[in-house]
Structure 1
């Protein structure tokens, strides 16, 4: 299958316009067929040994969202104590989730025992199944952006809160809790870049050839 120049450009446009959405969610429901396409794209992520270790829990319950939001608030308060001075003030002022604003949440998990204890491609790097599940998150995120649906990854919440709320067994790893929904607008630059938390690193400084570089950038 050959990708046309127009299709190629659409892929790059989707990648470069993807955003971690926190505050722009609307209450517009996501149609079932759109959600199915997004989850199908996630299910077609690359996976080590073709073990497909992921599962996706779609969360619409206001009660569940409230519990996860409280978990975020508790973890956010703990995390703020790790920063000092103006950095702490800046951290506390950031909007870092849209748990209750988003029409739905999606929890992505990883079953590390899905195809047995010995997995092709995981024999030397056992964490490859976790990386595979993260690839599913990326597929989901890009598919959502192609559908003009926003996604925000909530990492500031303890696993036990999500596990207890969604009845996830102890042997299943929690990879991501994602806020998903239509948005008023997609920002032209990422929030943390736009608000001065950190600048975008120049891509040329992340690209090296043959060996790890010396102290001089390309």
Structure 2
């Protein structure tokens, strides 16, 4: 049965879901049951996609040696990134935990097909990047569903796509989009850790419409 409108209670719960969605870097070691992980993937695949192309690929990284190689890529890039800041900012940067790769029980690499046959090119002739945007929508659907189950997700971006392609032996027809750490969070935070640590704060102006 199709709903024309969800209840006020559901909308309030939905707002809480958006508010409590966090980029998690501190995980408990407990693995997530396979049936729940499968359900999260099912939710992700309900995301909208340009031309119904469904370009996403979610790849579980279970082998310890692959995880370690990718973690080494992160550590190398993280060290280089810290050197780009002034001494005061560098000290703060080094205090941040920017990856949960060392304790998250699940690692997922997400790729997007650059030019999928599915969808027959609809909507991509003028904006070919919409396949990647579609995959990001699938990631966000996965993320919100995970939070509803009390599961945390952390997006690791301080890694070079070229290295990930080589380590995982993924063809260039697939574009690397995200490396996700997934697991039960150690703590639930009221606000982003970067805000708590004083790295950045939310821009209240972004909550306002721009009128043209």
Task: Indicate the residue corresponding to 1:179 in structure 2.
Answer: 181
Distance (whole Å) between structure 2 residues aligned to residue 52 and residue 16 of structure 1:
27
Look up the SS of the partner of 1:78 in the other structure: helix
Contact 2:108 2:181 in 1 (8 A): yes
Where structure 1 has 5 or more consecutive residues not aligned to the other structure, the ranges are 212-218
Pairing 1:202–2:207 present: no
Runs of 4+ in 1 over 4 A off after TM superposition: 203-206
Shift of 1:122: 1.4
Please name the residue that 1:150 is paired with.
Answer: 152
SS of residue matched to 1:197: coil
The CA deviation at 1:206 is: 4.3
Deviation at 1:11, TM superposition (A): 1.6
Aligned mates of 2:12, 2:35 — CA distance in 1: 25
Partner SS state of residue 178, structure 1: strand
Q: How many residues align?
A: 209
Alpha-carbon separation, structure 2, partners of 1:194 and 1:105: 26
Question: Are 2:75 and 1:43 equivalent residues in the alignment?
Answer: no
Structure 2 Cα separation of the partners of residues 10 and 166 of structure 1: 39
Relative to the length of structure 2, the TM-score reads 0.93
- Partner residue, 1:7: 10
Structure 2 unaligned blocks of 5 or more: none
Q: Distance in 1 between matches of 2:76 and 2:139?
A: 25
In structure 2, distance between residues paired with 1:125 and 1:206? 27
